[in-house]
Structure 1
Amino acid sequence: MDKDVSMDMNRDVDTAPTPERLAEGLREQTAAFAAHVDGGDPDARVPTCPEWTLRDLVAHVGRAHRWAAELVRTRSQEVAGGPSRVPVDGSEPWRDWLLEGADLLVAAAEEAGPDATLWSFVGPQPPAFWLRRMLNDTSVHQADAAATTGGAFTIAPDLAADAIDEALLMLSGPWAEKARPQLARLRGEGQTLGWRATGAPPAAWLVTRTPDGVTSRRSSAEGDVNVSASLADLLRVLSRRLPPDDPAVTVTGDRPLLDHWLSHTAF
């Protein structure tokens, strides 16, 4: 990847989970995802991803873990092809297959070691990049699985906070508009969005729309629009898995600014 589109995915080093916590979190979230989908109707539609069935959702998560594991295992310096085996129906044990994929990625990261570098879509990164990326992808899809099968979305506060950190960083990196040109519509003239976690631990983010793109930082400063919810629900709002009108969410200020943001941040 060109140097001008690389980015620092370890920006908030004081709050970022360790590789060990990322590995533990990946296993936690994969187990939660598996608990939701195991025994579910393979043809059930996923309400938060209506183009997918539950079978598609499971296949996506399991394949992504194996794809990332192979990339890390080989220390690939270029994008790698993914494995071909996916569950095609509900007859095989989805739970075991899913947990195996997470274990493969954790084992590959441990074998590679923290100082290895390999390909990522934001430039060369250590294996922890892919632990974090797959953990946060799995967390969002756990919300999809819960919505499909009627379960409750669960995530530890530290993992939810880091998922929000990463989500906002991915929207503000210089590579983002190259990957998703529609993100250019998020540029602005200084409009701000505040994201505030209620309860403990305290956490807050401020997003600013500038003429050059989006910036974000940890801050409790007031925005032109402010969204308050638990860390888990804040993550679901940001990932468009929970509508801001939900009773668990409080929105104050410029609501059209929030609606515009949510309508252009599909990633």
Structure 2
Amino acid sequence: MSRLAHDRYCDEIAHQLGRLRSVVTSGADLSATVPTCPDWSLEELVRHTGGALRWVELLVRTRAEKEIGLSEVPGGTGPEATGDAAALDAWLAESGEAVVAALREAGPDAVVWSWSGINTAGFWARRMTHEITVHRADATLAAGLPYEVAPEVAADAVDEWLDIVRFVQRALPDDSASELRGTDRRSLHLHATDTVPELNAEWVIELTEDGVVWRRGHEKATVALRGPLTSVLLAFYRRLPLDAPGLEVRGERELLEFWLERATFG
């Protein structure tokens, strides 16, 4: 499937950031533990997300040829005071405006270092879109607020996650994702039940001896995960349990659980 346009990724970063800021200013308890990221409080999650945006802004703006340490990012840790929703919101707003401006100015083909081997600003536009899309879900769920995302963005987030799993299998042979291989033709099928046919929001994922192979389409598989696209996305990212309302698992549930336990990069 083709990716979204570069400008659309930039627009989506700005949109997702606005929605995340609304969580910060909603009166939610910033010290509360995030259930889907239990090592973080809501404030720590927000600081992580804003810091990532500032890191990418620096990479793209300077056309970095090698990795820049997070400690080298100006303002990367956020406001000095903790528990200050207004200061955190202002820092997030500034972070988002800066990274979107840098990405738009660079364009998708500008050469920029990345950990993926795809050394372009376009890689970072896509990565940050889905970084903030999923972490906004973490924040929204922690605050007990409703969550939704545009279908084409959710579908592209699934595509990107599968691309990352394949990259990890190639580049990090000791990672748990290396166990997602096989010679017995095991496969998974993700099936969004609430989208238009043109989106083709279905995925077939095969665990081959050489690694994960995936494609969009409707095919019989060892196990299938069915439900609304947003729920499928969040379950596939381990943000919703497989037994969440609206989700259905058909076939060998153990294989899907095996996948979720090992596809944990990031």
Q: Same fold (TM over 0.5)?
A: yes
Moved more, 218-227 or 123-132: 123-132
Q: CA deviation at 1:104?
A: 0.9
Backbone CA RMSD of aligned residues: 1.6
**Gaps in structure 2 of 5+ consecutive residues:** none
Q: 1:214 aligns with which of 203, 212, 215?
A: 212
Q: Please give the residue correspondences for 1:1-267 in structure 2 after superposition, counting only pairs within 5 Å.
A: 12-13=1-2, 16-38=3-25, 39-82=27-70, 83=73, 84-87=76-79, 88-91=81-84, 92-173=86-167, 176=170, 178=172, 181-189=175-183, 190-202=185-197, 203-267=201-265
Q: CA deviation at 1:174?
A: 6.0
The answer to whether the 8 Å contact 2:111/2:121 transfers is yes
Q: CA deviation at 1:176?
A: 4.9
Residues 179, 77 of structure 1: alpha-carbon distance in 2 compared, 3 angstrom cutoff: farther
The answer to whether the 8 Å contact 2:113/2:119 transfers is yes
Aligned-partner Cα distance in 2 for 1:131–1:75: 14
The answer to whether the 8 Å contact 1:22/1:135 transfers is yes
TM-score of the superposed pair, with normalisation by structure 1? 0.90
Residues 159, 109 of structure 1: alpha-carbon distance in 2 compared, 3 angstrom cutoff: same
The answer to whether the 8 Å contact 2:169/2:175 transfers is no
**Gaps in structure 1 of 5+ consecutive residues:** 1-11
Q: CA deviation at 1:102?
A: 1.7
Equivalent position amino acid for 1:250 in 2: E
Aligned-partner Cα distance in 1 for 2:69–2:146: 34
Q: Deviations over 1:44-85 (max 9, x none)?
A: 100011111111101101000000000000010111123244
SS of corresponding position for 1:243? coil
Equivalent position amino acid for 1:227 in 2: L
Residues 120, 224 of structure 1: alpha-carbon distance in 2 compared, 3 angstrom cutoff: same
SS of corresponding position for 1:33? helix
Q: CA deviation at 1:103?
A: 1.4
Q: Deviations over 1:2-48 (max 9, x none)?
A: xxxxxxxxxx32xx110111011111111112212223222110001
The answer to whether the 8 Å contact 1:205/1:219 transfers is yes
The answer to whether the 8 Å contact 1:160/1:232 transfers is yes
The answer to whether the 8 Å contact 1:170/1:176 transfers is no
SS of corresponding position for 1:227? strand
The answer to whether the 8 Å contact 2:188/2:221 transfers is yes
SS of corresponding position for 1:108? helix
Aligned-partner Cα distance in 1 for 2:147–2:173: 29
Aligned-partner Cα distance in 1 for 2:14–2:206: 34
SS of corresponding position for 1:173? helix
Q: CA deviation at 1:128?
A: 1.7
Q: CA deviation at 1:220?
A: 1.1
Q: Deviations over 1:126-158 (max 9, x none)?
A: 212111101101111111111111101111111
Aligned-partner Cα distance in 1 for 2:210–2:239: 28
TM-score of the superposed pair, with normalisation by structure 2? 0.90
SS of corresponding position for 2:83? coil
Q: CA deviation at 1:180?
A: 6.0
Q: CA deviation at 1:213?
A: 1.3
